[in-house]
């Protein structure tokens, strides 16, 4: 699905404030990342990353010599990309930490720069950036002009009240209950499509209650007017982790849909003219998967289940 679909549900201001407060104590990457050599370990999100000399040597000459990869990102979009504090230009977030970890493994710095989302791919094509990490869905149309190294698979998730009083575990459990969703979203379509399954189960239809903003849907969940709020799974995970310090909500994690319902891959986009960088990033990401570093970074943001087990290239499903 296009990222416009992934990003259609913005976190409310109160949650963004909580996110900023949670990260305001400083950048999630140690200062060593700014000038990492091919041999100096770097700490990212509490995880020590040791550079791989062979991967460093495999990088394009220009990147090795400059010591940096120019990365575009559309910020803010919690929990993927955020500013450390209000008014600050220092970034944090899942994508930012991922970039710093990959960069550390490659022995270079991933230098993030803010770029409006609809301008990211054209800027990559124009050579303004080497790569982009911005919760970008890997789809076949984009694969025509950039290469992807896929690092997560995410779709829709179910947010419930803390303690999960109705014991909601799957979409089927929503049948016969009032459920909140932001209007005109893929999540609304998901619930509407599931109505036939509810009837087959004899549980009654989902009472789909639409709201102009997901913050309104969350208020309905807080007040007990609905049993769940359906939104993008990464946003649901982050909301569960940060709202009221984690005391307000929790994520109903369906074991049959760990990446979320109707999940699609998200990838690190790399300019087509930099195949060496694409290959190095893929190998670095796989190394972070194999040693458990990636899972720890994802867990920091409450979305460990969307991490991939294999770093694949150009794996669009559309």
For residue 39, what pLDDT is reported? 66
Q: Quick: pLDDT tens for 184-210.
A: 777 898 999 999 999 999 999 999 999
Six token digits for residue 300: 């920091």
For residue 20, what pLDDT is reported? 36
For residue 4, what pLDDT is reported? 43
Bigger pLDDT: 258 or 42? Answer: 42
Look at residue 28 and tell me whether its pLDDT is greater than 80.
no
- Cα gap 161→239, rounded to integer Å: 11
In degrees and rounded to multiples of 5, residue 305 shows phi and psi of: -70, -15
> 111 burial class (0-12, 13-18, 19+ CB within 10 angstroms)?
middle
In degrees and rounded to multiples of 5, residue 186 shows phi and psi of: -65, -30
Bigger pLDDT: 200 or 215? Answer: 200
For residue 187, what pLDDT is reported? 86
Q: Quick: pLDDT tens for 101-116.
A: 999 999 999 999 999 8
Average pLDDT of the chain is 87
CATH number of 3-153+265-313: 3.40.190.10
- Cα gap 85→17, rounded to integer Å: 9
In degrees and rounded to multiples of 5, residue 245 shows phi and psi of: 65, 25
For residue 8, what pLDDT is reported? 35
Helix spans in the chain (H): 3-6, 13-23, 53-57, 61-66, 94-106, 120-126, 140-143, 186-193, 195-201, 214-223, 233-242, 275-290, 293-300
Please state the pTM of the whole predicted model.
0.70
Domain 155-252, classified CATH 3.40.190.10, yes or no: yes
Six token digits for residue 232: 């993008």
| Average pLDDT over every residue of 242-259 | 91
- Cα gap 223→226, rounded to integer Å: 8
Please say whether the dihedral angle defined by the alpha carbons of residues 74, 92, 105 and 34, taken in this order, is positive or negative.
positive
Question: Would you say 221 and 180 are in contact if contact means Cβ atoms under 8 Å apart?
Answer: yes
Instruction: Return the domain boundaries, the chain.
Output: 3-153+265-313, 155-252
Bigger pLDDT: 155 or 30? Answer: 155
Q: Quick: pLDDT tens for 133-190.
A: 998 888 898 999 999 999 998 889 999 999 999 999 999 999 999 999 988 777 898 9
- Cα gap 280→3, rounded to integer Å: 25
Provide the 10 A C-beta neighbour count for residue 222: 15
Provide the 10 A C-beta neighbour count for residue 299: 15
For residue 22, what pLDDT is reported? 38
Residues 6+ positions from 87 with CB-CB distance below 8 Å: none
For residue 38, what pLDDT is reported? 62
Q: What is each CA distance from 318 to 9, 185, 261, in whole angstroms?
A: 21, 18, 15
């Amino acid at each position: 699905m296009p990222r416009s679909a992934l990003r259609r549900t913005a976190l409310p201001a109160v949650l963004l404030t909580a996110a900023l407060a949670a990260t305001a104590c400083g950048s999630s990457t140690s200062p060593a990342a700014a000038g990492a050599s091919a041999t100096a370990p770097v700490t990212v999100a509490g995880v020590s990353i040791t550079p791989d000399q062979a991967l460093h040597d495999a990088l394009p000459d220009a990147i090795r010599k400059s010591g940096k990869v120019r990365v575009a990102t559309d910020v803010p979009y919690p929990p993927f990309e955020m500013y450390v504090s209000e008014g600050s230009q220092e970034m944090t977030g899942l994508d930012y930490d991922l970039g710093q970890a990959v960069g550390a493994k490659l022995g270079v710095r991933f230098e993030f720069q803010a770029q409006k989302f609809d301008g990211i791919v054209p800027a990559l094509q124009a050579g303004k950036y080497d790569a982009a990490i911005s919760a970008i869905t890997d789809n076949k149309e984009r694969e025509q002009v950039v290469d992807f190294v896929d690092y997560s698979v995410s779709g829709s998730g179910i947010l419930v009240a803390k303690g999960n009083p109705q014991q909601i575990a799957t979409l089927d459990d929503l049948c016969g209950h009032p459920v909140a969703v932001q209007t005109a979203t893929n999540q609304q379509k998901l619930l509407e499509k599931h109505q036939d399954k509810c009837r087959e189960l004899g549980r009654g239809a989902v009472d789909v209650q639409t709201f102009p903003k997901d913050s309104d849907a969350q208020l309905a969940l807080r007040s007990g007017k609905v049993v769940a709020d359906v939104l993008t799974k990464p946003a649901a995970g982050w909301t569960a982790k940060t709202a009221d310090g984690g005391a307000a909500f929790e994520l109903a994690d369906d074991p049959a849909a760990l990446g979320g319902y109707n999940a699609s891959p998200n990838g690190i986009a790399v300019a087509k003219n930099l195949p060496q960088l694409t290959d190095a990033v893929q190998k670095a990401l796989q190394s972070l998967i194999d040693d458990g570093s990636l899972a720890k970074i994802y867990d920091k943001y409450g979305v460990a289940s969307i991490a991939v087990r294999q770093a694949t290239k150009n794996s669009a499903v559309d």
